[in-house]
């Protein structure tokens, strides 16, 4: 997918210390191989990504207008699209990638996996992008843009 190749070509060398801190989600998009950009959660998203100096990360994100209906039936829950992502574990940085080694996850099938992300940082913005994923006859990359949070205290 050209979007992933373009990111890899332009990424500056980052070390693990460049990731340390708290990042606020500003954009969540699917980049299709035909150039189409899809925003499955719309333009308003919320979330935080935290990288610690001890080598651990934690990410939580969702649409800003996520509904919290506790009285859904099991049928409704199974038809619901993915509207919350949460996982955590150690992270490693190598070249143009950061890998999240998942130890805790909302999704059982992510446990024990290595979630690789291409990265690019421009000032206070950190862009993370998945490798191309097969999806409905094509390929897509998921792109997340995070803004560095500066101390509240």
Q: What CATH number should be reported for the domain holding residue 96?
A: 2.40.128.280
Contacts of 36 (CB under 8 A, 6+ apart): none
Q: pLDDT for 16-55, tens place per residue?
A: 999 999 999 999 999 999 999 999 999 999 999 999 999 9
* 93 lies in some domain: yes
Tell me the pLDDT band of 7, cut-offs 50, 70 and 90: low
Residue 89 lies in a domain: yes
Residues 6+ apart with CB under 8 A from 68: none
- Residue 103 lies inside a defined structural domain of this protein: yes
Residue span of the structural domain in which 30 resides: 2-65+75-148
pLDDT at residue 129, as a whole number: 98
Rounded to an integer, the average pLDDT of 116-134 is 96
* Residues 40-97 pLDDT 10s: 999 999 999 999 999 999 999 999 987 655 555 555 454 445 789 999 999 999 999 9
**Residue 48 located in a structural domain:** yes
> What's the domain count of the chain?
1
Distance CA 68, CA 44 (A): 16
Say how many Å lie between the first and final Cα of the chain, rounded. Answer: 42
The pLDDT of residue 72 is: 56
In a domain, 70, yes or no: no
pLDDT of residue 97: 96
Q: Which residues pair with 48 in a beta bridge?
A: 24, 60
Name the band, by pLDDT with cuts 50, 70 and 90, for residue 1. Answer: very low
pLDDT score at 152: 76
Residue 57 lies in a domain: yes
């Amino acid at each position: 997918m050209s979007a992933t190749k373009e990111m890899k070509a332009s990424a500056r060398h980052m070390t693990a210390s460049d990731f340390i801190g708290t990042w606020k989600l500003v954009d969540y998009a699917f980049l299709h191989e035909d150039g189409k950009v899809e925003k499955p959660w719309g333009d308003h998203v919320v979330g935080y990504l935290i990288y610690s100096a001890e080598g651990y990360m934690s990410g939580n994100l969702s649409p800003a207008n996520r509904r919290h209906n506790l009285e859904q039936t099991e049928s409704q829950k199974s038809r619901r699209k993915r509207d919350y992502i949460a996982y955590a574990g150690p992270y490693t940085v190598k070249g143009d990638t950061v890998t999240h080694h998942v130890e805790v996850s909302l999704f059982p099938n992510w446990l024990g996996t290595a979630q690789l992300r291409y990265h690019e940082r421009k000032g206070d913005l950190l862009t993370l992008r998945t490798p191309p994923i097969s999806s409905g006859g094509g390929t897509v990359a998921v792109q997340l843009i995070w803004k560095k949070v500066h101390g509240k205290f």
